[in-house]
Amino acid sequence: MIATIQYNSRKLQIDFSKPLDISIPLISSEKNVNAWYVDAPKIEPVQDGEWTAAVSEGADINFNNIQFNPHAHGTHTECAGHITEKVHSINQNLKTFFFLAEVVTVAPENDGEDKIISKKQLQFALGNKKRDAIVIRTIPNTREKHSRQYSNTNWPYLEADAVKFLVEKGIKHLLIDLPSIDKEKDGGELLGHREFWNTKGKLRLDATITEFIYVSNKIEDGEYFLNLQIAPFENDATPSKPILYKVIS
């Protein structure tokens, strides 16, 4: 279905019949993607004595408990409450769900023992484009990202100046295919998160960071209409399902 919509001052033609899911599903397995030194997620039927809540075990229903951490176990969207003393809920602060986004592909640069995404790289990728959201795909880009165990790997991260540039460009929603926009072990500095949410000034409560996405190589760089779907958790972060739609014109 191709629809013409008014978005800010532009009329956009969107093909809603071809959704592009860039989330990583959560599975009950050691092969589930993982970070932050926690155990694998669990999806298990309720047990009550000898009764197991699974149709395969003779029950009338499947009735599972799910144990996971949104930050560690898959695609999630977080708000400033992730790093503030005062509790802020993603469910209370993300109130609109459609945004004009740019998909960019970046090869992290060597910086000593680290790999970083620099301001210069994002300046080149975005140019003069005006977007509400940026979707960052890092290379190499393989389906191993669905199952990689990231703990103690010193993954690539965004330098603080790169995040500052995105804020200055008006980016409200930052999506990336890594466990965090910050260095894995940074002594709690969280420079990228603090820059993005402006913790030294007026807190950007309506801005979000989505981590652990996966952008297939079949998805070209360029302009997309983003539907940022979240589960209604009253928490700093929630599992999410970002969907891209190609902008035809």
Residues 186 and 34: their CA atoms lie apart, in Å, by: 19
| CATH code given to domain 2-34+70-246 | 3.50.30.50
Backbone torsions φ then ψ of 164, nearest 5 degrees? -60, -40
Name the residue among 170, 171, 210, 247 with its Cα closest to residue 82.
210
User: Using 50, 70 and 90 to split pLDDT, how confident is the model at 53?
Assistant: very high
The percent of the chain in helix, strand and coil, each rounded to the nearest 5, is 15, 35, 50
Express each pLDDT in 58-99 by its tens digit. 999 999 999 999 999 999 999 999 999 999 999 999 999 999
Most distant pair of Cα atoms in the chain: their distance: 64
Task: Yes or no: say if 66 and 239 are a contact pair by the CB < 8 Å rule.
Answer: no
C-alpha distances in angstroms, 153 versus 88, 115, 187?
30, 11, 16
Helix axes 160-168, 119-126, angle to 10 degrees: 30
How much is the pTM? 0.96
Average pLDDT over residues 159-187: 98
User: Using 50, 70 and 90 to split pLDDT, how confident is the model at 114?
Assistant: very high
User: Using 50, 70 and 90 to split pLDDT, how confident is the model at 5?
Assistant: confident
